[in-house]
Amino acid sequence: MGLREDLERFREVGEQRRQDLAEFIQYGDLGASRPDSVKVPVKIVDLPEFEYDQRDMGGVGQAEDGEPEPGDKVAEGEPDDGDGDGEPGEEAGEHEYYEMDPEEFARELDEQLGLDLDPKGREVVTEREGEYRDIRRSGPASTLDFDRLFKSGLKRKLATDFDEEYVREALRIDGWGPARAFEWAREERVPVSRTWLEDAYDDIPADERDRWRSRSEMESNVEQEQTSTRIRREGIDSIPLRREDERYRHPETIEEKETNVVVVNIRDVSGSMQETKRELVERTFTPLDWYLTGKYDNAEFVYIAHDAEAWEVEREEFFGIRSGGGTRISSAYELAADLLDEQYPWSEWNRYVFAAGDSENSSNDTEERVIPMMDEIDANLHAYVETQPSGNAISATHAEEVERHFRDNDDVAVAYVQDAADVVDAIYTVLSTEDTDE
């Protein structure tokens, strides 16, 4: 059927389509992705249609055990008519995702936005355990190279093994004795000792000691058996495993240059940060995280939420938190400075400090505390992203103040995001600022 070709073509189109990252970043569903795997909904591949705005359309659900009641939150996934089967022209309710790793994401974004950020700055030499290639004579039992020990034993066994019956026949040549036989054995490279020959000769009854008239008669009548044949026939009852053959494997130590980055994400969670603002922060920060993860060998993230106080949170909570309280942006920088000093020394880590909020701050905090701290904290880049959907409130001047003060610095970026359409520009502003940095 032509369907194979259709499937192939779909894959190709999908590939082309998922390059349309700008659209995904601005309007797509970022929630399905994890820090280590960016999932671009394949839905974007699908052709557009005139459709209702999902939110404005609402829908019909079916309650279970009387839940939910009017006013209750509708469970995740409910906003779907559940009509999952393929009807002509209809699409299934499920989303499919095109997965890419952060490296691919970073590459695509570079291409799309014309960025070219090389992970510069600190490169840290780390010692990494390589494969177990280094062999030593001592070590923990678990690293004993038994293969090698066995092979050595086998070799030794082979080296000392000989066809005993054959040698005994040599002792039965008329006129020979242990001494003559020993000479013969040396000549024939049979690893037999003189003592063995003497003992064997003693065991041979006297009437058998002249069985063969000559060496040639013996050799033409008796077949010498090869060691390998014998082992195959008899098996090995004992391999001489010797202590001196023991070898222990040790990992190779590989010295590697690795690029480390720590990204500090700071977000204002105070009461003025309405949902739309929160979402814009998430839309801006999440792709930045992916991008830097993709660019550096080792990326770590610190999430700081603040109102008038600051505290460190997990990524999962970061974008959802809401608190009451006022706003003091410097609280977050104080915490960031502590955390960076303790865990991410500037000598070893590339540092990015991204903050976002609606530019509202308590009076004089920006000028008196935040700006000095931004100066003080060593970082590849400081950025402030203002998310203010409905233009500026008069009191909200943090972004402007920062921008004014750092106008001439190339390691501070300020970006303004009013709606989702601005997100890609903001990301470009932030990343291109770093780009021209060093």
Q: What is the C-alpha to C-alpha distance for residues 18 and 22, in angstroms, rounded to an integer?
A: 10
Q: Are 59 and 81 in contact (CB under 8 A)?
A: yes
The stretch near another protein (CB under 8 A) out of 63-71, 177-185, 222-230, 407-415 is 63-71
Tokens of 325: 């309280």
Amino acid at 96: E
Residue 203 CB contacts under 8 Å (≥ 6 apart), including other chains: none
The stretch near another protein (CB under 8 A) out of 30-38, 70-78, 108-116, 324-332 is 70-78
Residue (59 or 372) nearer to another protein, CB: 59
Residue 93 CB contacts under 8 Å (≥ 6 apart), including other chains: 80, 81, 82, 83, 84
SS3 category, 100: strand
Q: Least distance in Å: CB of 277 to another protein?
A: 8
Q: Least distance in Å: CB of 160 to another protein?
A: 59
- If one asks whether residue 31 binds another protein (CB under 8 A), the answer comes out as no
414 CB neighbour count, 10 Å cutoff: 24
Amino acid at 414: V
- If one asks whether residue 89 binds another protein (CB under 8 A), the answer comes out as yes
Q: Least distance in Å: CB of 99 to another protein?
A: 13
Q: Least distance in Å: CB of 308 to another protein?
A: 20
- If one asks whether residue 58 binds another protein (CB under 8 A), the answer comes out as yes
SS3 category, 308: coil
Q: What is the C-alpha to C-alpha distance for residues 261 and 350, in angstroms, rounded to an integer?
A: 4
List own/partner pairs for 15-20 with CB under 8 A and 24 or more apart.
Answer: 17/42, 17/44, 17/45, 17/98, 18/42, 18/44, 18/45, 18/98, 18/100, 18/108, 19/108, 19/111, 19/112, 20/44
- If one asks whether residue 9 binds another protein (CB under 8 A), the answer comes out as yes
- If one asks whether residue 5 binds another protein (CB under 8 A), the answer comes out as yes
Residue 434 CB contacts under 8 Å (≥ 6 apart), including other chains: 117, 352, 380, 381, 411, 413
- If one asks whether residue 389 binds another protein (CB under 8 A), the answer comes out as yes
Q: Which of 62, 363, 364, 436 binds another protein (CB under 8 A)?
A: 62
- If one asks whether residue 179 binds another protein (CB under 8 A), the answer comes out as no
Query: Within positions 109 to 138, which residues make up the interface with another protein, using CB under 8 A?
Result: none
Q: Which of 79, 130, 139, 153 binds another protein (CB under 8 A)?
A: 79
Q: Which of 46, 111, 116, 165 binds another protein (CB under 8 A)?
A: 46
Q: Are 294 and 255 in contact (CB under 8 A)?
A: no
Residue (139 or 389) nearer to another protein, CB: 389
- If one asks whether residue 87 binds another protein (CB under 8 A), the answer comes out as yes
Q: Which of 15, 35, 54, 395 binds another protein (CB under 8 A)?
A: 54
Q: Which of 15, 36, 80, 134 binds another protein (CB under 8 A)?
A: 80
Tokens of 240: 């001489």
- If one asks whether residue 88 binds another protein (CB under 8 A), the answer comes out as yes
Residue (235 or 391) nearer to another protein, CB: 391
- If one asks whether residue 83 binds another protein (CB under 8 A), the answer comes out as yes
Q: Are 340 and 262 in contact (CB under 8 A)?
A: yes
Binding mask 266-285 for another protein (x = CB under 8 A): --------xxxx-x------
Residue (135 or 421) nearer to another protein, CB: 421
Q: Which of 72, 127, 237, 255 binds another protein (CB under 8 A)?
A: 72
Tokens of 282: 């998430």
Q: Which of 48, 140, 205, 324 binds another protein (CB under 8 A)?
A: 48
Tokens of 262: 């720590």
Q: Which positions touch another protein (CB under 8 A)?
A: 1-3, 5-14, 27, 42, 45-64, 66, 68-74, 78-84, 86-90, 92, 94, 96, 274-277, 279, 389-390
